[in-house]
A = this chain, B = another copy of it.
Amino acid sequence: MTGNPMPTIDQMLCFAVYSAGHAFTRFYKPRLDALDLTYPQYLVFLVLWERDNLTVKALGERLFLDSGTITPLIKRLEARGLVQRQRDDEDERQVRIRLTADGRALKQRAEAVPLAVAKGTGLSQAGAEALRLELLALRERLDRVD
């Protein structure tokens, strides 16, 4: 019995996920530079373009991020006039995020991004979908334990 030799990072699934994530960020960067958005900011807009006027909490649940990440990110977008923050009248603990006209307008300028990314992956739609579902299931299992 040799016990448990340490794996090489090249053998580890976690490192494949970690480094593929960085590769995506690098790939997005030149495409999002035109919009002056970071990748996490782009994700926030994708959510808000789909459904406006979400609370910080709802946004965080959608993105798996907490207020410590989202609050300063949103404030930077607010400072640029792309979103507005306002306390909910019904429940003043909550802050609702609304797109401004400029924030909505950004959507047209982002239209070319998804196709470029799809091409960059080199995967067919079915291949990308299969991989996405595997990762979704993996995330759920990792989050379920402990």
Q: Which residues of A contact B (CB under 8 A)?
A: 3-4, 6-9, 11-24, 26-28, 30, 39, 43, 46-47, 49-50, 62-64, 107, 110-112, 114-115, 117, 119-123, 128, 131-132, 134-139, 141-143, 145-146
A115 to B5 alpha-carbon distance, docked (Å):
10
Number of copies: 2
Top 9 A-B pairs ranked by shortest CB distance?
A: A16-B135, A122-B141, A23-B142, A21-B21, A23-B139, A16-B132, A20-B139, A20-B135, A14-B24
Residues of chain B within 8 A of A62, CB atoms compared: 9
Extra 11 A-B pairs, beta carbons < 8 Å, given A6-B50, A6-B110, A18-B24 = A4-B115, A6-B107, A13-B132, A15-B43, A17-B20, A19-B63, A20-B135, A23-B64, A24-B142, A120-B141, A121-B142
